[in-house]
Structure 1
Amino acid sequence: MNIRFASVALVASTVALAACNKQAPEELPPAPAQTATPTPTGPTTPTGPSVGTQAHFENAVSGQNVIYFDTDGYDIDSEDAQALRTQASYLQQYGQVTVTVEGHTDERGTREYNLALGERRANAAKNYLVSLGIPESRIRTVSYGKERPVAMGSNESAWAQNRRAVTVVVN
């Protein structure tokens, strides 16, 4: 009986396999549509200088971190006032930032005279920033007199570039 059963099973499976004979379809189905898979994004890395750095400050104030003075002068003119208003806007926006205003002079005059003039220039800029609402505790001053020129030379062009107050971020 086992032989008969095995023979029937063999014939049945052969018939079943013959029925499964695959032929290529006359027309292929359309290709699956491409779906856009979102690219995973991690935290974005900020580009540009970090907040509270000198580079960020200079970029934000469009290079208006320097004001210039007339010979032997320390008065704030309208151009200087605009630059200081721009600086004050930055300082109001970033309350954690503290600055030092550096006073500079040209090479003419004694060391003592130039240190005193540089101090008056730095204080003039500081006082203007304070008048615009910046807390005095966030602004320090220092005078370098003629010790740190940006332009070398003994001519009016060099002297004009050196008679300045520079605002520098300190934190």
Structure 2
Amino acid sequence: MKTKSTTLLLTAITGSLILLLGSGCGKKTVMPPETTMDGGADAGTPISYPAAEGGGYSEESLPIEGSLDDTSTATSVTAAEGMAEPTEEYKKLYGRSTRGLSPIYFNFDQATIRPDMVAKMESNSEYIRQIPNAYVVIEGNTDDRGTNEYNIALAERRAQNTKQYLVDLGTDPARVRTVSYGEEKPLFFGQDEISYSQNRRADFIIE
């Protein structure tokens, strides 16, 4: 009887030890699923990105094309939206004109071609002649002072005068059309003379 009790006690102790050893004391490590190019799990080779300082990843450490500070290129990449947009430097050089063509600028409330814009007009005329099958749209713009109706008419005069100057330089008038935006499509939004002067503009767009 004593032997049977001892055997039962030993069996109970042994069972408890097995349960304790089987359950373990440490935390189980869970491995994250592999991430692929299209965001699926376990669908291919994972992408390796540079780690951010302190470990892990951050939006800033992910590779993006272009640079917000790169004014040598036409566009910069907005990290939040991934959208390409013109830099300030590009807008000052080209306005909305096709690259290779230069915008021309006008004095306040004037539609005549300024003497300092003649060289740009001649350069644009030469560029257009080198693309014989291209058509050109001249877009007239104003700053936002004055009424909308007045500015539409002023921008139209600017576009028409610019077209006539091109024609006088030898451009076929059938290849040139005009459009007036008035104050509706500003590139610069400051309420200062620099912004105003940049918006008093005619752009040259190759169609």
Which of the five TM-score ranges fits, normalised by the shorter chain? 0.5 to 0.7
Give the equivalent residue in structure 2 for 1:132.
169
Task: Report percent identity of matched pairs.
Answer: 42
**C-alpha displacement of 1:78:** 2.1
Query: 1:93 and 2:113 equivalent?
Result: no
What is the identity, as a one-letter code, of the residue corresponding to 1:166?
D
What is the identity, as a one-letter code, of the residue corresponding to 1:107?
D
Query: 1:70 and 2:103 equivalent?
Result: no
DSSP-derived class of the 2:125 partner: helix
What is the identity, as a one-letter code, of the residue corresponding to 1:58?
R
Whole-angstrom distance in 2 between the partners of 1:116 and 1:94: 30
Query: 1:155 and 2:203 equivalent?
Result: no
DSSP-derived class of the 1:102 partner: strand
Query: Whose relative contact order is higher, 1 or 2, with alpha carbons under 8 Å and at least 6 apart?
Result: 1
Highest CA radius of gyration, 1 or 2? 1
- The correspondence for 1:58, drawn from 99, 104, 128, is 99
- The correspondence for 1:141, drawn from 165, 178, 197, is 178
Which stretches in structure 1 are left out of the alignment for 5+ residues?
1-56
DSSP-derived class of the 1:144 partner: strand
Which stretches in structure 2 are left out of the alignment for 5+ residues?
1-97
**C-alpha displacement of 1:109:** 0.5
* Aligned residues: CA RMSD: 1.7
- The correspondence for 2:120, drawn from 79, 83, 89, is 83
| 1:22-41 correspondence runs (5 A) | none
TM-score, with length taken from structure 1: 0.62
What is the identity, as a one-letter code, of the residue corresponding to 2:168?
S
Structure 1 runs of 4+ off > 2 angstroms?
A: none
TM-score, with length taken from structure 2: 0.52
What is the identity, as a one-letter code, of the residue corresponding to 1:102?
E
